[in-house]
Every structure is written in C-alpha cells, then in structure tokens.
Amino acid sequence: MQNEHIVVIGAGIGGLSAAIHLAAAGRPVTVLEQNTEVGGKMGLWQADGFTWDTGPSIITLRPALAALFAMAGRRLEDYLTLLPVDPLTRYFYPDGTVIDAAQSLPRMLEQVAALDPHDVEGYLAFLAHAAELHRITGELFIYGEPPTLRDFLRVPLRDILRVDAWRTMAQAHAHYVRSPHLRYLLGRFATYVGASPYRASAVLNVIAHVELNQGVWYPQGGIYQIARAYRRLAEELGVEIRTESHVTHIEVQNGAVRGVTLASGERLSAQAVVANVDVTTVYHDLLPPDIAPARHKRLTNLAPSGSGFVLLLGIEGEHPALAQHNIFFSRDYRREFDDLFVRGIPPQAATIYVTATSKVDPQHAPPGCENWFVMVNAPPLGPGFDWATQGQSYRDALLAQLAAHGYNVRERIRSERWRTPEDLRAQTGAWRGALYGLSSNNPLNALRRPHNRCPDVRGLYFAGGTTHPGGGVPMVTLSGGVAARLLLRETAP
C-alpha cells in the first residue's frame, strides 16, 4: 500500500486548519514550517517590554473558528476567550468629524443622522442589502467547496439579479448614502481583500455585513493566541509540527505527488501534500518547471492584490481619544487607490490604521505606554517603489501625517520595527508580497481564484488566502477544511 502520510507545507492558519481536519479523521500528518514559529502571516513580536501582533488585527465570523474546534470534538471556549469589540472601529476624518462604528444599531443611527438625516433610511437599506448578499453568496463562495457550474445553475434567477456584480462597491455606496463620510467608511471594506472600492465589484459589500451586522472579536491575550490555540489542538490530535523546516521542492512522479524535499536535503515521502503557500509561489518555486507552464505563466501575469506597510511602535504616553481600532482618513480617498493600483506606489497621502491592543491587554506595553500597530495600504512589489531605499522616507512621511491628525509621537517612540511587502514575501512566500493573492479589482477574478485541488498534480491541495474561499483568518480557516475534505474524499487511507 502507498505511504499514507500527509505533508502540510506551511504552519499558517490554513495549514494548521487542514492538519486538524486530517488528524481528526485519523490520518498521519506532518506540518513543515520554514520559520521558527507557527502562524504564517499571523505573527508576534516582543521588544523593550512591548508585545505586538504583526499580522491580522480584526477577527470576524466567530462561528467559522468555533466550527473547527467542534469538528475535532472540542469547545472553542476551552482554547480561546473571544471578547466583543465596541466600537468596532473609530473613524477620524480630515474635517474633524469622528464616527464610532458601534455594535449598537441605535447608536450608529444617531451618528448617521448627525451627518445627514436622509442617510438613516439609506444606511439601513445598505445593511439589509449586505445581509442579502451574504445569504445569496455565502454557501456559494464562502462556506462550501469551490462552486461549480451546477452550483451556479441552482441559484434562483431573482437572486442572481440581486448580486450586484457589475457595479463597483463605490457606486453601490453612492446609491444608498449621500454623506461622503459614510461612503469612505463603507469603502474601507474593500481593503479587507486588498482592493479598491472604486474598482472592486459591489458583491464585496458582503464584507460590510460580516463586520457591521455580526461584529468584531478580539482574542484575550492577542490575535496570536489563535495560532497558539490551533497548534495546541493539532498537537493534541497527534499532528507533528516541525518549524525551521524549509521545503524547497514538491516531488512529482507520473503526474502525482510523491513527497517533498527540504533545504537540508531531507526527503519526506507522502501520499498527499497540502500547500499552505501562495498558489503562484507553489507553481513558481516548488513544482518542477515542466508542470503546467501555461498555468504558471497565467498566474504570474495576473494582477495581485494590494499589500501593506506596517510600523510597530512602542509609544510613551497614553491616548484616551483612541479606541482599540482607529482609522485616519486621507483627504482624497480615490487618489489613494490610484496611487496603489495605477501608479504602483504607496499612497502619498495615506489612510492610516492604528490599533493598540494594550488598551485591552495592559501587559502588552509598559505602564504609561501603548503598543501601536500602524498600517497603510501598499502596492504589491514592483518597479514603482523600492522599500530598501525609500522605506525610511515613507516611514517619516507617515509619522508626519499622524502628527497632522494631532498625534505627534515622533519624539516618544521607545521601540520600533517595520514590516514591508518584501518582508511579507520573504517570510510567508506571498507572491510579490501581496496579502490576498489574486486581485479583487476585476469582478471576474472571483471565478479565477485557484481551486483547493491542484488541477495539474494528483494528491496536491491548496489552503490559505490565495485559494478558495479567500483571505482573512476565518476564510483561511475554512480553506483548510475544504482542502482536507477534498483530500480525504479522493485519497484512500
């Protein structure tokens, strides 16, 4: 009988999720991770008495996380304490307006009415529309396996007409609300998939439903507690996790997986492989060059999503006017996205995201200090910008912009670290440093997202943000389940 062993490449959230599903089904699994810790894009950094989560910072879709533990016969609550976040986000505008995206709908509607009384009805209609999008597209694009033509044909025509695929997100926002403040707020959800609200399909307004209608959660102790919880569950189920184990090749023979080769020269045979690595990177770096060269070329030529530039700042002093999550909008939101996706440069006047987990977990900063995670959208790696030579000046410009918003912390930085798109590429294998794989700015790309089953190599499966159903911690968790279910169905134990 062929070796029953399964190798998972990458101990990111998708890889750990796949390993948990496979081990719960009784399959022997080894997870190989090139870095010293698990988590992939979900990382942790500690220095000078400060602690920062270095990757995802907003958790939605709590049921997706709970379902993983339930599948393994466990309770999420025994591994993680998820606290509701309120306000969801505090938004600061250049004209001095401040809006709290509140969990309480009456409180939110009070703020909407203060902006424009006519927008109360429009905002409610938008929330209902976003909920409808979730009902129509949820099983098709989020919670199930990659959709087939048969799946599309089962969708009632009236629902297909309501999906709003050919308007942009911004066009839909303009239909529902008049206030530019609200339009900016709703447009921000495009950045959750590294896209522009002026280019991405209005279908992506479903993201607003997931946050505004269903809420945001924070794991007590920090976002990285999720990675630790997944690792603990995986190891309880018998998964072997090997860090500092860099896979250099996926071995293929007669069109089927045979194992993997590590940088050390070690070879592990396997019946199947789950790659929790950017799908384009798998074709470019891990598979033999004669495997599907046409698909390889197509993947490398497709536009990737946006990336991000992060400053981890240990700040002396406390800022009670800030919430846990904060957005400082630029004056020209459209210009910002033209910089990203037309000119291929970081925004010259950026919308800046600041979160400080020390507001919830005081041990994340020394007394009287805060741990700021500062992030702005950035283009994928390309010729328009060189982070090695231009990163310092861009960092300085962002701190100057924060000072213009009233938060001049330049002389009160106790600790600092950067993370650029180049760091993301090197540490996680993200193609061109893109956060979410294929760009969502083209409405057809939802149908071009790589399948969780590799069409060119038997026994190779994909998990992570670059395959179905997409990026974000809950979605990547779901992707690992999809890859595992396909594998279990298609390979005999």
Q: Is the pLDDT of residue 165 over 90?
A: no
Q: Considering only the top CATH level, what class is 6-42+59-82+221-302+430-490?
A: alpha beta
- Beta carbons within 10 angstroms of residue 158's beta carbon: 8
Q: Is the pLDDT of residue 2 over 60?
A: no
Q: Is the pLDDT of residue 303 over 80?
A: yes
The least confident of 287-301, 307-321, 406-420, 440-454 is 440-454
Cβ neighbours for 10, distance < 8 A, ≥ 6 positions apart: 31, 32, 33, 34, 40, 275, 276, 277, 428, 429, 464
Q: Is the pLDDT of residue 150 over 50?
A: yes
What is the spatial order of strands in the sheet that 413-419 belongs to?
A: 98-101, 89-92, 325-328, 352-356, 369-378, 307-316, 413-419
Q: Is the pLDDT of residue 1 over 50?
A: no
Residue 203 phi, psi (nearest 5):
-55, -30
Give the predicted TM-score (pTM) of the model: 0.96
DSSP assignments along 390-432, one per residue? HHHHHHHHHHHHHHHTT---GGGEEEEEEE-HHHHHHHH--GG
Q: Using a pLDDT cut of 90, give the percent of the chain over it.
A: 91
Domain ranges of the chain: 6-42+59-82+221-302+430-490, 104-214, 304-428
Kind and range of the H or E element at 376?
strand 369-378
* Mean of the per-residue pLDDT values of the chain: 96
- Beta carbons within 10 angstroms of residue 406's beta carbon: 11
